[in-house]
């Protein structure tokens, strides 16, 4: 008997019915106030069968088909568009298939971060602490990376997963941290000059529970930086970061993933500030990143989204203040920006955890060039 469930970290699905080899399901929107597209489910009991999965709501299959894992979510590949027909996809299970997982993207949860951190357990350049405890009792990590003896000339703030479903950014973050912790010239430069504060899962409960996170009720985590914060995590960030910055904080980066498909959503881009001086810094950094890029995924400064264009308008921020806007107001900050990294493809090229990590290294290299102008 085919069994469909999401009873594991990051899982999200509502299985409506199973009719022979046809499964009808939809994403669980829970406390999101509009339609969104994250889902992640497990199939057991389907060995040797060819099964079609039908999504009964909106079209939530991405540009490269579903992400698929045969090792309980440790590694992923794209199933591809040949398996997709409209709002359904088909999969032929091997005769020995036991646990096969499908998702909108390539999920990244606590276990993935733990594997990464385990590789650096003996490093002198990484310290993991607890930012706070979530309402559900989970620890929210705060990582200090780089020069940690108090002698750093410069400080950098990096946040990820304000929108918990946006998983591909976490692989980018891994690439950035690996570069900063590396034993080459790039790593040694950071280890001698820069202290980075990294918050890998701002919405930790959402990541582990498999929420959408985007447009969360009553307030999106990335609109919670004004007035009295609704979320414990953002309240503590607002309390701790200004003291830590000590006038040395120069750059704040917030990693995101865009919408599901089409046009700009299939490019890597910076979200432009409404103020001219910060926008010019974003342009300057983007040109550095374009020049420093070594990976195959394309990045062009011309793809950046200026304020007032498409969704990047005052109306979009009516519900509150974003992390980037808040960080940009901290004393000494010169560059504060959100960076959007697509889920499945950048132009004609498929994304993957490996290529996302390479882009993360390129981000670190561009940061070095940018920061060198300040010391």
How far is Cα 226 from Cα 126, in angstroms, rounded to an integer? Answer: 31
Mean pLDDT for 1-18 is: 98
Residue with the two structure tokens 């993933």: 257
The predicted structure's pLDDT at residue 249:
98
Q: Are 282 and 334 in contact (CB under 8 A)?
A: no
CB atoms within 10 A of CB 47: 14
DSSP code at position 30:
T
pLDDT in tens, 46-71: 999 999 999 999 999 999 999 999 99
**Cα-based distances in Å from 268 to 66, 314, 355:** 20, 22, 13
What phi-psi label fits residue 48: left (phi over 0), alpha (psi between -120 and 50 degrees) or beta?
left
Q: What angle do CA 60, 61, 65 make, to 5 degrees?
A: 170
pLDDT greater than 90 at residue 374: no
pLDDT in tens, 76-112: 999 999 999 999 999 999 999 999 999 999 999 999 9
pLDDT greater than 80 at residue 119: yes
pLDDT greater than 80 at residue 375: no
Three-state DSSP state, 22: strand
Residue with the two structure tokens 């950014």: 169
pLDDT greater than 90 at residue 163: yes
Domains and CATH numbers, the chain: 3-103 (2.60.40.3120), 110-372 (3.40.630.10)
Instruction: Write down the mean pLDDT value for the chain.
Output: 98
The predicted structure's pLDDT at residue 161:
99
Task: Assign 288 a pLDDT band (cuts: 50, 70, 90).
Answer: very high
Q: What percent of the chain has pLDDT above 90?
A: 98
**Cα-based distances in Å from 144 to 115, 123, 326, 356, 371:** 17, 11, 21, 21, 18
pLDDT in tens, 233-274: 999 999 999 999 999 999 999 999 999 999 999 999 999 999
pLDDT in tens, 202-232: 999 999 999 999 999 999 999 999 999 999 9
């Amino acid at each position: 008997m085919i069994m469909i469930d999401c009873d594991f970290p990051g899982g999200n699905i509502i299985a409506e019915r199973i009719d022979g080899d046809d499964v009808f399901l939809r994403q669980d929107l829970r406390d999101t106030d509009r339609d969104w597209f994250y889902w992640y489910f497990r199939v057991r009991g389907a060995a040797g069968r060819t099964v079609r999965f039908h999504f009964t709501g909106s079209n939530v299959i991405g540009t490269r088909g579903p992400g698929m894992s045969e090792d309980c979510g440790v590694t992923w590949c794209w199933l591809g568009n040949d398996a997709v027909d409209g709002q359904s996809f088909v999969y032929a299970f091997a005769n020995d298939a036991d646990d096969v997982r499908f998702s909108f993207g390539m999920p990244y949860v606590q276990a993935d971060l733990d594997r990464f951190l385990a590789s650096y357990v003996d490093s002198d350049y990484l310290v993991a602490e607890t930012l706070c405890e979530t309402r559900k009792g989970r620890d929210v990590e705060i990582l200090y990376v780089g020069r940690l003896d108090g002698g750093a000339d410069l400080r950098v703030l990096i946040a990820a997963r304000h929108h918990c479903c946006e998983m591909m950014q976490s692989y980018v973050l891994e690439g950035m941290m690996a570069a900063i912790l590396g034993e080459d010239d790039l790593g040694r430069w950071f280890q001698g000059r820069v202290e980075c504060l990294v918050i890998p899962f701002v919405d930790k409960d959402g990541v582990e529970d498999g929420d959408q996170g985007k447009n969360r009720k009553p307030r999106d985590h990335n609109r919670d930086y004004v007035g009295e914060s609704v979320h414990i995590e953002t309240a503590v960030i607002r309390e701790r970061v200004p003291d830590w910055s000590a006038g040395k904080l120069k750059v704040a980066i917030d990693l995101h993933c865009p919408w599901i498909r089409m046009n700009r959503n299939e490019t890597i881009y910076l979200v432009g500030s409404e103020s001219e001086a910060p926008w010019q810094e974003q342009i300057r950094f983007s040109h550095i990143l374009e020049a420093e890029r070594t990976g195959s995924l394309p990045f062009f400064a011309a793809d950046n989204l200026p304020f007032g264009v498409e969704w990047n308008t005052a109306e979009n921020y009516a519900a509150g203040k974003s992390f980037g806007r808040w960080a940009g107001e901290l004393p000494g900050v010169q560059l504060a920006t959100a960076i959007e990294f697509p889920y499945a493809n950048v132009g004609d090229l498929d994304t993957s955890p490996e290529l996302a990590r390479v882009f993360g290294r390129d981000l670190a290299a561009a940061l070095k060039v940018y920061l060198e102008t300040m010391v």
